């Protein structure tokens, strides 16, 4: 296809600076801003290592799989005019290519690897060649032998794919400036605005994503038409206009009630969360307090009643969706990796809009226990679903076999519906953008990781710090000032909710200021304002003794159970850590014996119960108490479960 010459002219985007490389920049850049990737460099540690594995293994792993399955060649067939009834991949496979491009763009900003740059350029060329003259870009619809454009808005994912294209273009625009991908995205966005604008089709896409894509692309280009189109899509949703899909009501794609009237997230979790992220963007950029309040209310309701201990969201496999309030089964927890990522997308936007520490708290929980759980240590296999209990050990997955959804307790190299690997890749590649913020002369560390920050303060001048920490293995976070302006500025550190009173051994969180004075700090913020000099140090110490965590009794699925956490990590008991001859369902934790730290996990005291043999599992006699021997068993971080081969696993353990 030749490229269109009918693109609406817009002013050239400015060349990006170090502070510009950010996924989310609200109009006017808000009261507080996240840091650009050019202002941060992680130096190993938990998140630095994950980023390195992502760069070294995951990006090429995803590219290779998509090449092998023909998802890339779909673009070539459109360009060559050789499309037909047969086409590999789901309707949304284009979006995986765009998410990979986004990941590559962020990663290039981090490492500027020339081999990666070549792969990026080659991939963009293939995508660009498939764009129609009028900006339409999709390999599943609209070409010979394929269904016509927009004939399946409920299931076709055409606008969803464009949304991901726009997010990829945002990453490129803010890290390297305008290039072919950005131009392709601009034509695609213009096409969407023409086709679905105020005078166009009064329709929406079954899977939200175009909203958040348009909103951010509009921000990145200073193009109010895109923001307005995002707003139109948000407002159009909830009026039951999407054609129904078999056995799924309109709530599945949030078309049952307008966003601003919705009380809790419901239906397909990823759809609900991407929509909320887009709605938050529209609300902020248009000053729509009512809409922002709606998203905040939905976040609050959902976190209070529909969220797992891991931060995972979505408790139904049937529709990959939220359940009712308190419907949080451990074994059938869906907790799709992409829903976890969607949750952090929403929380980040709400944090930037409000500054409320709770949003950053949830992001930490989700980062450590959902995002970090998905990829295998080598970055070449992933969880799609993240249950909190595995009753039956999964089966080993062949390294070259596609897996339906990686729900079976074993990470799989690739899935039939393979949305998670590229989503993990783009999120890890840009993770450090979510780790701190600045407002005025205040620099706030939100997520703890070893690294160096060199921040342009809004009040002028630079603040450079080195953060040293072994977090989450150790709760000490040392912030050393490397450079600071000659005036009083503030370094603020997040004290997680879990670090409040009652943690494990009773130790409290403390902050040691530049004056060397140590004081106890409560959950929320701890800060130090000073005219810093190079070498000045602030130390936050978070209590990371293992601690018991009890569920609300309305969560029926884990009644009579307790979990153990350590710092930001949810721990779990996995079958390889049990003495032989003891099954996971025979174990009862003794809550009277405090858990003790052991390696990166904990030791807990348990008793065993004998296995019952009944011909019908409902009897007139209550179950006997646990009278078996007392033993200590080791709990390990949930995010690393199933790394030692297929296993059974529980986060919540019944108590004695």
Which residues are near its own copies by CB under 8 A? Answer: 246-249, 300, 303-305, 307, 309, 316-318, 323-327, 329-332, 358, 389, 391-392, 404-405, 416-417, 497, 500-503, 547-563, 585, 591, 609, 612, 614-623, 654
Smaller CB separation from its own copies, 54 or 447: 447
**What's the distance, CA 183 to chain centroid?**
27
- From the CB of 368, what's the least distance to its own copies, in Å? 15
- From the CB of 70, what's the least distance to its own copies, in Å? 17
Identify any residues that bridge with 573 across adjacent strands, giving them in sequence order: 650
- From the CB of 205, what's the least distance to its own copies, in Å? 20
**What's the distance, CA 593 to chain centroid?**
35
- From the CB of 234, what's the least distance to its own copies, in Å? 26
Nearest Cα to Cα of residue 484 among 459, 512, 511, 465: 465
List CB contacts of 234: < 8 A, sequence separation 6 or more: 211, 259, 275, 278, 279, 282, 291
Smaller CB separation from its own copies, 486 or 614: 614
List CB contacts of 581: < 8 A, sequence separation 6 or more: none
- Give, as one character, the DSSP assignment of residue 302: H
- From the CB of 525, what's the least distance to its own copies, in Å? 16
472: which 2 tokens?
């989450």
Smaller CB separation from its own copies, 381 or 503: 503
Burial degree of 506 (CB within 10 A; 0-12, 13-18, 19+): exposed
Residue identified by tokens 């390990």 is 636
- From the CB of 89, what's the least distance to its own copies, in Å? 12
- From the CB of 102, what's the least distance to its own copies, in Å? 26
How far, in Å, CA of 413 to CA of 36, rounded? 31
Smaller CB separation from its own copies, 213 or 329: 329
CA separation (Å) from 286 to 259, 455, 608, 625? 15, 28, 59, 60
94: which 2 tokens?
């284009």
Smaller CB separation from its own copies, 34 or 504: 504
- From the CB of 445, what's the least distance to its own copies, in Å? 22
Residue identified by tokens 């047969």 is 86
Smaller CB separation from its own copies, 47 or 265: 265
Smaller CB separation from its own copies, 115 or 611: 611
- From the CB of 418, what's the least distance to its own copies, in Å? 12
Query: Across the beta sheet with 524-530, what order do the strands follow?
Result: 33-34, 436-439, 442-445, 489-495, 524-530
* Cα torsion 545, 548, 551, 556: sign: positive
How far, in Å, CA of 179 to CA of 288, rounded? 33
- From the CB of 450, what's the least distance to its own copies, in Å? 28
Rounded to 5 degrees, φ, ψ at 569 are -95, 130
- Angle, CA 216 vertex, CA 161 and CA 172 arms, to 5°: 75
Smaller CB separation from its own copies, 148 or 199: 148
- From the CB of 436, what's the least distance to its own copies, in Å? 23
How far, in Å, CA of 102 to CA of 54, rounded? 13
List CB contacts of 358: < 8 A, sequence separation 6 or more: 303, 497
How far, in Å, CA of 152 to CA of 130, rounded? 20
Smaller CB separation from its own copies, 400 or 614: 614
Residue identified by tokens 């052991």 is 598
Smaller CB separation from its own copies, 229 or 310: 310
- From the CB of 417, what's the least distance to its own copies, in Å? 7
Identify any residues that bridge with 403 across adjacent strands, giving them in sequence order: 415
- From the CB of 66, what's the least distance to its own copies, in Å? 19
Output the DSSP codes for 259-286. GGG--S--SBHHHHHHHHHHHHHHHHHH
- From the CB of 237, what's the least distance to its own copies, in Å? 21
Smaller CB separation from its own copies, 29 or 325: 325
List CB contacts of 382: < 8 A, sequence separation 6 or more: 337, 374, 375, 376, 406, 411, 412, 413, 415, 420, 421, 424
Smaller CB separation from its own copies, 530 or 609: 609
How far, in Å, CA of 525 to CA of 511, rounded? 10
Smaller CB separation from its own copies, 124 or 584: 584
Smaller CB separation from its own copies, 478 or 596: 596
- Angle, CA 414 vertex, CA 364 and CA 571 arms, to 5°: 35
Smaller CB separation from its own copies, 329 or 375: 329
How far, in Å, CA of 607 to CA of 581, rounded? 14
Are 543 and 509 in contact by the 8 Å Cβ rule? The answer is yes
Smaller CB separation from its own copies, 285 or 361: 361
Identify any residues that bridge with 19 across adjacent strands, giving them in sequence order: none
How far, in Å, CA of 81 to CA of 618, rounded? 64
SS3 state at 488? coil
- From the CB of 405, what's the least distance to its own copies, in Å? 7
**What's the distance, CA 500 to chain centroid?**
25
- From the CB of 557, what's the least distance to its own copies, in Å? 6
């Amino acid at each position: 296809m030749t490229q269109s010459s009918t693109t609406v002219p817009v002013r050239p985007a400015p060349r990006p600076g170090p502070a510009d490389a950010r996924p989310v920049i609200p109009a006017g850049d808000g009261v507080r801003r996240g840091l650009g990737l050019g202002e941060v460099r992680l130096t190993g540690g938990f998140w630095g290592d994950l980023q390195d594995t992502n760069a070294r293994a995951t990006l090429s792993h995803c590219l290779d799989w998509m090449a092998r399955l023909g998802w890339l060649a779909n673009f070539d067939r459109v360009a060559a005019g050789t499309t037909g009834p047969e086409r590999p991949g789901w309707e949304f496979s284009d979006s995986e290519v765009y998410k990979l491009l986004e990941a590559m763009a962020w990663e290039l900003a981090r490492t500027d690897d020339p081999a990666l740059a070549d792969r990026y350029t080659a991939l963009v060329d293939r995508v660009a060649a498939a764009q129609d003259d009028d900006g339409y870009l999709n390999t599943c619809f609209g070409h010979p032998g394929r269904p016509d454009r927009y004939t399946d808005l409920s299931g076709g994912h055409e606008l969803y794919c464009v949304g991901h294209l726009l997010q990829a273009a945002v990453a490129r625009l803010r890290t390297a400036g305008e290039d072919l991908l950005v131009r392709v995205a601009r034509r695609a966005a213009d096409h969407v605005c023409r086709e679905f604008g105020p005078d166009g089709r009064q329709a929406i896409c079954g899977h939200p994503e175009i909203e958040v894509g348009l909103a951010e692309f509009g921000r990145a280009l200073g193009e109010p038409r895109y923001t307005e189109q995002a707003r139109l899509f948000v407002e159009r949703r909830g009026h039951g206009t999407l054609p129904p899909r078999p056995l799924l009501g309109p709530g599945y794609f949030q078309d049952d009630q307008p966003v601003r009237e919705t009380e809790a997230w419901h239906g397909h979790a990823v759809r609900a969360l991407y929509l909320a992220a887009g709605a938050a963007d529209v609300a902020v950029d248009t000053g729509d307090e009512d809409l922002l309040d709606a998203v905040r209310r939905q976040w609050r309701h959902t976190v209070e009643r529909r969220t797992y201990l891991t931060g995972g969201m979505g408790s139904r496999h049937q529709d990959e969706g939220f359940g009712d309030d308190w419907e949080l089964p451990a074994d059938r927890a869906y907790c799709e990796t992409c829903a976890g990522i969607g949750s952090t997308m929403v929380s980040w936007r709400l944090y930037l809009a409000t500054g409320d520490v709770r949003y950053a708290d949830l992001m930490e929980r989700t980062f450590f226990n959902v995002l970090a759980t998905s990829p295998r240590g080598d970055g070449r296999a992933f969880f799609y679903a993240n249950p909190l209990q595995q009753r039956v050990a999964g089966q080993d997955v062949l390294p070259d076999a596609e897996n339906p959804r990686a729900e079976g307790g074993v990470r799989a190299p690739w899935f039939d519906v393979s949305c998670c690997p590229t989503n993990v890749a783009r999120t890890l590649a840009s993770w450090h953008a979510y780790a701190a913020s600045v407002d005025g002369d205040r620099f706030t560390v939100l997520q703890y990781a070893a690294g160096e920050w060199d921040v342009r303060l809004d009040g002028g001048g630079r603040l450079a710090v080195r953060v040293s920490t072994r977090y989450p293995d150790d709760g000490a976070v040392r912030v050393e000032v490397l450079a600071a302006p000659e005036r009083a500025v503030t370094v603020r550190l997040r004290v997680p909710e879990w670090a409040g009173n009652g943690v494990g051994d009773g130790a409290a969180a403390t902050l040691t200021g530049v004056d060397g004075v140590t004081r106890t700090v409560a959950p929320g913020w701890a800060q130090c304002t000073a005219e810093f000099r190079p070498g000045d140090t602030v130390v936050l110490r978070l209590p990371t003794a293992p601690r018991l965590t009890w569920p609300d009794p309305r969560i029926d699925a884990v009644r009579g159970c307790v979990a153990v956490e350590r710092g930001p990590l949810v721990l779990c008991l996995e079958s390889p850590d049990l003495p032989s001859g003891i099954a996971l369902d025979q174990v009862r934790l003794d809550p009277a014996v405090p858990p003790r730290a052991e390696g990166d996990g904990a030791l807990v005291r348990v008793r065993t119960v004998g296995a019952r043999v009944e011909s019908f599992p409902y009897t007139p006699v209550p179950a006997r108490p646990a009278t078996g021997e007392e033993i200590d068993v080791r709990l390990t971080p949930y995010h690393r479960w199933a790394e030692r081969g297929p296993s059974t696993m529980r986060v919540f353990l019944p108590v004695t």
